[in-house]
Amino acid sequence: MSNKIVNTVFKVIPIKLTVIYNACVRTGCFLVNWKIAKMLPIFKPGIENSADTSKYRPFTLLNTEGKVLEKLRSKRIMHHLFKR
């Protein structure tokens, strides 16, 4: 889903979405669909356009839901570390 869709869903059903993310953090579950990313090839700087695959750099666009879950996990880990 795009960022706009996630924001809209959160505005409509914030409690249910929060429950889903909290359950994922609590159980350690990371939904398979949230792990899917799109890889886009980008030309390396200073190299002319070519069909040779070594001329490209992979650029990955991560799934929005997965990004949100990763951010929640990292914030909870950091909170736990600084609390101790």
pLDDT digits (tens, 9 = 90+) for 70-83: 898 899 899 999 98
54 vs 43: CA distance, rounded Å: 9
pLDDT tens for residues 7-46? Answer: 898 899 999 999 999 999 899 888 888 888 888 888 877 7
CA-CA distance, 19 to 26, in Å (whole number)? 10
Show the beta-strand stretches assigned E in 10-66: 37-43, 56-62
**Structural domain count of the chain:** 1
Range of the domain at 27: 3-83
Mean pLDDT of 42-62: 77
**CB environment 16-35: b (16+ within 10 A), e (fewer):** ebeeebeebeeeeeeeeebe
